[in-house]
Amino acid sequence: MTASSKSLYAVAARPGPALAGPGGRPGRPAGSAEGIVSSLSSRAATPPLLAVRDVRIRHAPTGRELVRGVSFDLAPGRVVGIVGESGSGKTLTCRAALGILPRHLELSGGSIVLAGEDVTTFDEDRWTRERGSTLAAVFQDPASYLNPSLPVGSQVAEVLRVKTGLRRREARSRTLELFASVHLRDPDVVYGQYPFELSGGMLQRVLIAAAVSAGPRILVADEATTALDVTVQAEILDLLADLREGSGLSLVVVSHDLAVVAQLCDEVLVMRHGEVVEQGQTDRVLHRPEHEYTRLLLAEHDQFGLDRVLEGRAS
């Protein structure tokens, strides 16, 4: 399996040669970098779960830098949004934090500290343990992460078996609970259905269930609602907000759509051409954008209901 292959495991578990055993959640010793990170953090009292510091990503064969200097802190229970046009470096930033950079791309500068540990020290086995357990992700196009010829329930149950060591029967009942928690109606029915029998919104709920199945602390949602129609998109955003409220999950929400991140995020990064052009508290960025490009994004949303979001957030 290559780093960029698509499978349900890529989202939630990615079993490798050395899987975490039952309850194999790794310890999280405070690394030496933690002191530096928290002194930089605006919330020094709560060390960030994820500290991305001046990250640069390079295409090794050409030396071209695709991402240049992205920094943010993700504290427990907080939501950071990354917004910007297609090709601005949002996905690569996330992939770096998930340890799934595509072939030929490398972290060429800066640091990523996950729960106190510098991820550049992680080997593939370590990443395999962390993905699903500490951080997980959902992407656009959920169907492509599922095997079309297996019922979705058994695919999620398999992730649970691999990731948490549950036995078959327990994995099934836990999957049904997860399906209920992501507001899939009739979990029993959905369990036995094949991907083609489910709508895009239902498939994304299945993928979210798989992603949170092993209790990660961080969920990266990269364009997770982009392919969905507006009503379903709103439902999925509500679900993400529920997960944050209910289990204190921290989120990284990526979208080219400012209205999407506006609904959920405490802080927003606006990216363009591999750089962060503006970054700050969501309310400040939305109400008093400082960069021309942010103003442009806001203007594009005039017709799409961002005004309502802005009013909702106005204090």
Ligand X SMILES: Nc1ncnc2c1ncn2[C@@H]1O[C@H](COP(=O)(O)OP(=O)(O)O)[C@@H](O)[C@H]1O
Residues in contact with ligand X by CB under 6 A are: 59, 66, 84, 86-92, 102, 104-105
Query: Do 220 and 254 form a contact (C-beta atoms < 8 A)?
Result: yes
Structure tokens at 134: 């500490």
Measured from the CB atom, is 102 or 248 closer to ligand X?
Answer: 102
Q: Which does 102 bind (CB under 5 to 8 A by kind): Mg ion, ligand X, none?
A: ligand X
Q: Write the CB contacts of 33 (distance below 8 Å, at least 6 apart in sequence).
A: 51, 111, 113, 116, 117, 118
Taking the complex as a whole, how short is the minimal distance between the CB of residue 256 and ligand X, in angstroms? 7
How far apart are CB 96 and Mg ion at their closest, in Å? 13
Name the residue among 218, 251, 216 with its Cα closest to residue 236: 251
> Chain centroid to CA 111: how far?
18
Dist CA 103 CA 144 (whole Å): 20
Please list the helix, strand and coil fractions of the chain in percent, rounded to the nearest 5, in that order.
45, 20, 35
When CB distances are held under 5 to 8 angstroms depending on the partner's kind, the choice from ligand X, Mg ion, none that residue 59 binds is ligand X
Tell me the backbone φ, ψ of residue 96, rounded to 5 degrees.
-60, -40
CB 222, min distance to Mg ion, A: 6
73 vs 223, beta carbon nearer Mg ion = 223
User: Which tokens in the block code for residue 41?
Assistant: 């953090």
Write out the two tokens for 189: 């029915």
273 binds, among Mg ion, ligand X, none (CB under 5 to 8 A by kind): none
Of 85 and 118, the one with the shorter C-beta distance to ligand X is 85
Alpha carbon distance 81, 284 (integer Å): 14
Q: Which of ligand X, Mg ion, none binds 89 (CB below 5-8 Å, type-dependent)?
A: ligand X
The residue whose Cβ lies closest to Mg ion is: 91
| Contact present, 26 and 20 (Cβ < 8 Å) | yes
Among Mg ion, ligand X, none, the one that 87 touches (CB under a kind-dependent 5 to 8 A) is ligand X
Q: What minimum distance in Å lies between the beta carbon of 85 and ligand X? A: 7
Q: At what angle do helices 168-181 and 200-212 cross, to 10 degrees?
A: 120
- Binds 105, which of Mg ion, ligand X, none (CB < 5 to 8 A, cut-off by type)? ligand X
- Smallest gap, in angstroms, from Cβ of residue 157 to ligand X? 31
Q: Nearer to Mg ion by C-beta: 14 or 90?
A: 90
The two three-digit tokens of residue 300, written as one number: 């594009």
Which residues within the stretch 39-98 sit at the binding site for Mg ion (CB under 5 A)?
A: 90-91
Looking at the Cβ atoms of 88 and 133, the one nearer to Mg ion is 88
**Residue 15 interacting partner from Mg ion, ligand X, none (CB closer than 5 to 8 Å by kind):** none
Alpha-carbon distance 315 to 313, whole Å? 6
Buried b or exposed e, range 53-77, using 16+ CB within 10 angstroms: bebbbbeeeeeebbbbebebbbbeb
Count of residues interacting with Mg ion (CB under 5 A): 2
Smallest distance, Å, CB 221 to ligand X? 13
- Report the nearest approach of ligand X to the CB of residue 90 (Å): 3
- Which residue number has the CB closest to ligand X? 91
Is the CB of 184 or the CB of 220 nearer to ligand X? 220
Minimum Å distance from CB 83 to Mg ion?
Answer: 11
Q: What, of ligand X, Mg ion, none, does residue 295 touch, CB below 5 to 8 Å by kind?
A: none
Residue pair 251/266 in contact (Cβ under 8 Å)? The answer is: no
Contact footprint for Mg ion (CB under 5 A):
90-91
